[in-house]
Structures are given as structure tokens and as C-alpha cells.
Amino acid sequence: MTALLELEHLDVAYRASAGPLHVVHDVSFSVEPGQVVALVGESGSGKTTTSSAVLGLLPSGGHIAAGEVRLSGIDLSSWSDRRLESVRGARIGYIPQDPVSSLNPVRPIGVQLADTFRVHRRGDRRTVRTRVLELLERAGLDDPALRARQYPHELSGGMRQRVLIANAVALQPELVIADEPTSALDVTVQRRILDLIDELRREHGTAVLLVTHDLGVAAERAERIVVMQHGRVVEQGATASILDAPAEAYTQRLLADAPGLGEHEFRRPCPPAYLRDAGDAAAENPVVLEASGLVKEYSVGRGRAPFRAVDDVSFRVLRGTTHAIVGESGSGKTTTARIVTRLVTPDAGRVELGGVDVTMLAGAAKRDFRRRVQLVYQNPFASLDPRQTVAEIVVEPLRNFGLGDRRARADAATRLIDRVALPAHLATSRPAELSGGQRQRVAIARAFALEPELVVLDEAVSALDVTVQARILELLEQLQGELGLGYLFISHDLAVVQRISHSVSVMRRGRVVESGPTEQVFRSPQHDYTRELLDAVPGRTLPAGKALA
């Protein structure tokens, strides 16, 4: 039997002024009919480029420089764009990474799905309409007739990804390429989406090429794993053998960094800096932040009960420790973070910083408060001014508060850049020249510039690859150990929370359903929702994962 998809010595290059730039070298692997193969690697490893090359959808300037891409034995690598159009959609389906930006915002869902049939001239208007509704229903969307009329912005991220999956399997292709299909979604949604792909695959015998940076996802879903680094395949084989006996150092590191795999030590409330120095300890309050009974309501129109985004939320952050708030989107965790950072005023409840009520601060007092509480955002691409250099960015808080002269600030920049383990020569670079991990380090350095007492990290590592994520978490732990400050860590990712936090509050629909020391909550969850969240962590239920410990 011939393989469904075979890549042989594939070499992808981009045209550049200094000659071709090779980004994928000598990549060979195959996908059998009905098989799930995971292509694993960090960003920049060439995994997405490889999968785009299969579809012939490389960004402009990219081309297959050598090697073959065979679909059922026929080489597509030299096919023109026009010729490949008959393969795309019909024989190879595509599920994109980010469901939010992957549907046309100005056309209804049903019309976009129907397009897939029309492009390949399958069926008349009526049969297409019936098929679209069937597909939406099969993809697990309630009320398909309504969904077909709705526009993308009226659907949640998970629902949009269901639409995109329906789109990918619409013409029952032999192969579906799923490029990080779940990395933009909540864990529980992630699990349901992966289950859906699995079900549809079984129904139609579709093969799946699953592109992911998360070895946990790959381990759980794929029969074979192909590990890529720097545009080359470093290792490939059956999933079990890769997990049990990773031959390459890179694979071992990926395994160690995958947050859901392996057992990590729980962080215990180790004696922080203030306890080591008994003299300081007497004078200081170990509670950095105390929030009690926070409530925030949003009006949803006249005559209707307001929506309670945050409902009676209380928690504490101790000095030198991390308190995590976990929950899915819509759970109210980000609103809570915004209340704590005083970007939003609560309708009830109080926030105390170092024993002083800061709930209603205004004017100069509020400005002073901003020095003591700093925020690191999720998206390291959008939270840095693209026109400033790294050195300017990290000392901007000092400049805003008029601290130090030009010279002192230059020294501070050097110190801060060094502190977050960025190479000194990056000081004059601009954000566009940095990788995602480096940008997040810059954002962290900026947050530390004013030596705050509390840093609020809002999904601060969620946009990063697992290996980069692991390095950033290490950095945060190290800085906390040195400076003894408190972290409020907002995340939807339980695996990361398990790693970084000392205590945790689990939020759902605005309420805290469970809270306590991280170890206790994770080892013996009391609430069903907590259990559901824990089960959804990819790789967690895997026996192989435990064997690694």
C-alpha cells in the first residue's frame, strides 16, 4: 500500500536579496491513510512551513527548492497554483491556528461553508444548504440554521473552530492538516475540539497531520511523532517509543518542558526573603494584597438583570509567593486582575495593598499606587511600542515617574536587561527584531523597573511555546526568590499554574469555586469543575507521561 502523503527530502527556501534563504532542509516523513501524525517543534522550527508547502500555500517568495511532496504517489511539488486548487479543500483540508481571525468577518458562517462546495462545484444550491446545516450540526453547534445566518463575531472562539473544522472536512478529504488547532483555546474547549477532530477522522477514515508545539497534545492524539528543530527532522517514530526513549537531547528537553507531561514539584510556601531576615520580618506584613468580596457588574441593557462578571471574589497574595487565578474565558479572571490593578472600579468589595485600602484611590494616590503594582500582559507582540528600543521600553516607567536622570536611567536599563537574562547587545534593538520569548522578557523587565511589591501576570506565558514558556517561568521564580515580591498569576492553563503558584483560586462564571494551596487543590480537587479542568490538560491522563517522572 502506498502512503497517503509522502515528503521526500523536502527543502523549502525563500527568495531574499542575499540569495535563497533555506528554512526547511531535507525533511522526509510519511502519513498512512487514516493515520494521525504529529509534527512537533518550537516556533521557527519549520513545522508550519512544511505543512504549508504540502498545500502549496507558502507565503510569497517561498518555494519548494528540492524534494518531493507526494499525495497517493503523485508528486505535487512542481504543480502550478491553478492546478493545486483542485487538491486544496477537496483532497486536503486545512484547520488553521487562530479561529478568531480565520473566518471572513463580513460574511455569514453558512455562506462561507457553502463556498467550499461551490469552489469545487459540488451540488446545487439546495443540496449545498442541506449539507452545510448537517456539517454544522455534526461539528457540535446547536441550532445550525441560526448559526448559518450568524456572522463570525457572534460566535465564541471554540464555536468558530468547530465551524472551521466543519469546513475542513466538508468535502471528505483524505488528509486534514491541522496547524496548532487548539493553542488559542481554553483547555476544556481544546479537549472537545481535539475529540471532534478524532471522531470525524474515524468516521471518514481521514488522515491528520497535526502541527503542534505541545508534545502533550501530540502524545495524546498521534500515532507517530515527527520532531523538528531549525528546519530539520531531529527524530521520528511511533509515539510510544518517542515518549519512552527519546533519543535526541532536543526531544528530551521538549518532554521536560511540556507542562502537562511529567511530574513537577509543587512549589511550597518556602520561607521568603523577609523570613530569612528576622529583623525585617518583624516590621513587615506578609500579606501584600488582600481582595475581599469583589463584585463587578455590567449592564446588558435596560430591563434586564446586569451581568455579574465578578461575584464575591476574595483571595490573598503573600509576600514572595504566587497566587494563581485559573479559569476559562468568561470566568471573570481578567476582570478580577483589572480590579486589582485599579483599571476597573469594583461595585463592591475592597482591595488592600500592604494593609491600606486602595479600592477608591484617585489622582496622585492612584498614580503612586501604579508604582507599587505592575502588570505584564498576555500578548508580547502588542504590549511593546514598536518604535522604542528595548532600553527605552524598560526604563519608560522610570521616565514617567521622573525618576533618575538620563545617566541613571541608562544604568537601570543595563541592569534590568541583564536581570531578565537578555543579551546586552539587544538594548538598542526594537521589538520587531525579537522573538516572542525575548519580548516577554522585555515586558517583565519593564514591570520590574519600579521595584513593585506586586506583579500581576495576565496570561503572561500563554502565547509562548512550551520551551520558551518553561524558561520564562524559571525567570519569574528566580526574580521572586531574589526580590521577595508577590505575583498574581492569571491563567487558563492548569499545567503552568501547577508549576508556578503556591496557592490557587479556581474561577467559573465570576465565582471562586475552589481555592487553597496548589498542591491540595491539584491532588484532591473538591469541585467537579476543577476535576474537569484537570482532566482536560493534554498528556495528563497518559500513562507514558507518568512513566517519565
Contact pattern from residue 143 through residue 162 relative to another protein, giving x for each residue in contact according to CB under 8 A and a dash for the rest:
--------x-xx--------
Burial 231-241 (b: 16+ CB within 10 A, else e): bebbbbbebee
User: Binding of another protein at residue 86 (CB under 8 A)?
Assistant: yes
Closest CA to 179 of 161, 166, 196: 161
Give, in order, the Cα–Cα distances in Å from 337 to each of 291, 294, 361: 11, 11, 16
Q: Which three cell numbers stand for residue 470?
A: 518553561
Q: How far is the CB of 159 from another protein (least distance, A)?
A: 10
Query: What backbone torsions phi and psi does residue 85 show, to the nearest 5 degrees?
Result: -60, -30
Position among 9, 21, 61, 107 found at the interface with another protein (CB under 8 A): 107
Region at 330 (left for phi over 0; alpha for psi -120 to 50; beta for the rest): left
Specify the stretch interacting with another protein by CB under 8 A; choose among 3-11, 63-71, 77-85, 374-382: 77-85
Q: How far is the CB of 122 from another protein (least distance, A)?
A: 11
User: Binding of another protein at residue 388 (CB under 8 A)?
Assistant: no
User: Binding of another protein at residue 345 (CB under 8 A)?
Assistant: no
**What count of other Cβ atoms lies within 10 Å of the Cβ of residue 228?**
26
Q: Cα 262–502–498 angle (5° rounding)? A: 25
Specify the stretch interacting with another protein by CB under 8 A; choose among 1-9, 82-90, 191-199, 495-503: 82-90
Position among 27, 37, 55, 391 found at the interface with another protein (CB under 8 A): 55
**What count of other Cβ atoms lies within 10 Å of the Cβ of residue 35?**
20
User: Binding of another protein at residue 79 (CB under 8 A)?
Assistant: no
Q: Cα 313–319–322 angle (5° rounding)? A: 60
Query: What backbone torsions phi and psi does residue 167 show, to the nearest 5 degrees?
Result: -60, -40
User: Binding of another protein at residue 105 (CB under 8 A)?
Assistant: yes
Q: Could you tell me whether strands 224-229 and 62-71 are parallel, antiparallel, or unpaired per DSSP bridges? A: unpaired
- Size of the residue set binding another protein (CB under 8 A): 35
**Looking at beta carbons only, is 2 or 104 nearer to another protein?**
104
**Looking at beta carbons only, is 51 or 515 nearer to another protein?**
51
Q: How far is the CB of 381 from another protein (least distance, A)?
A: 15
Contact pattern from residue 293 through residue 332 relative to another protein, giving x for each residue in contact according to CB under 8 A and a dash for the rest:
-------xx-----x-------------------------
Contact (CB, 8 A) for 369 and 450: no
**Looking at beta carbons only, is 153 or 399 nearer to another protein?**
153
User: Binding of another protein at residue 396 (CB under 8 A)?
Assistant: no
Give the residues lining the site for another protein (CB under 8 A): 55, 57, 81-82, 85-90, 92-94, 96-98, 101-107, 115-116, 119-120, 151, 153-154, 164, 167, 300-301, 307
